Amino acid sequence: MGPEKSAVDRPTDRTVGRVTDAGEEPTIGKLVTDASRDISTLISKEIQLAKSELKVSIKFGVAGVAFFAVAGFLLLLAVIMLSVAFAYLIHWNGSGLSLHWAFLIVTLAYVLIAALFGFLGIKKVKKVGPPEKAIGQGKQIPNALKGKS
């Protein structure tokens, strides 16, 4: 018998680097066990990768939502100031309408705009229906599982 081969000299399994003897053929049971272990490891690593990517995405998403909230709040303040300015424009330093009528006109303008958007929203919501294609596909699943077309 020749000298014993070291682990460095012996051929290795390509997938995980397991050392095998030169003439040894792996059994079906060993192959199935190795494959199921490798699939399990692959799936768990994919889940870990997805979790880490989601954490980063969520951090950026939360920051983006916070910036949008601040922008929306500042825009709301700007609309309020613009409304006051418009009312004072209608009043025009006492030479226009009374101040209370000027503010009432601005308020009514906002009520009319809100009513218009409400009407448009109702029209759009009435067009919403159930997902017909998805329901049809869902109804075909039992037949497909039974082998029917």
Q: Looking at the domain assignment, is residue 9 inside a domain?
A: no
Q: Looking at the domain assignment, is residue 35 inside a domain?
A: yes
Task: Quote the number of domains for the chain.
Answer: 1
Instruction: Please give the pLDDT value at position 149.
Output: 60
Radius of gyration of the chain (CA): 35
- pLDDT tens for each residue of the chain, 149 residues long: 445 555 445 555 444 555 555 567 889 999 999 999 999 999 999 999 888 888 888 988 899 999 999 999 999 999 999 999 999 999 988 788 899 999 999 999 999 999 999 999 999 999 888 888 888 888 888 887 777 76
Q: Which long-range contacts (CB under 8 A, 24 or more apart) does 59-68 make?
A: none
H/E/C letters for each residue in 76-113? HHHHHHHHHHHHHHHHHHHCCCCHHHHHHHHHHHHHHH
Q: Looking at the domain assignment, is residue 97 inside a domain?
A: yes
Q: Give the three-state DSSP class for 62.
A: helix
Q: Looking at the domain assignment, is residue 3 inside a domain?
A: no
Q: Structural domain of residue 65, as residue ranges?
A: 28-146
Which class for 116: exposed (0-12), middle (13-18), buried (19 or more C-beta within 10 A)?
exposed
- Residues contacting 149, CB < 8 A, separation 6+: 143
Do residues 75 and 91 touch, judged by C-beta distance below 8 A?
no
Instruction: Please give the pLDDT value at position 23.
Output: 61
Q: Looking at the domain assignment, is residue 110 inside a domain?
A: yes
Q: Looking at the domain assignment, is residue 23 inside a domain?
A: no
Q: Looking at the domain assignment, is residue 4 inside a domain?
A: no
Q: Looking at the domain assignment, is residue 116 inside a domain?
A: yes
Cβ neighbour number for residue 87 with a 10 Å cutoff: 20
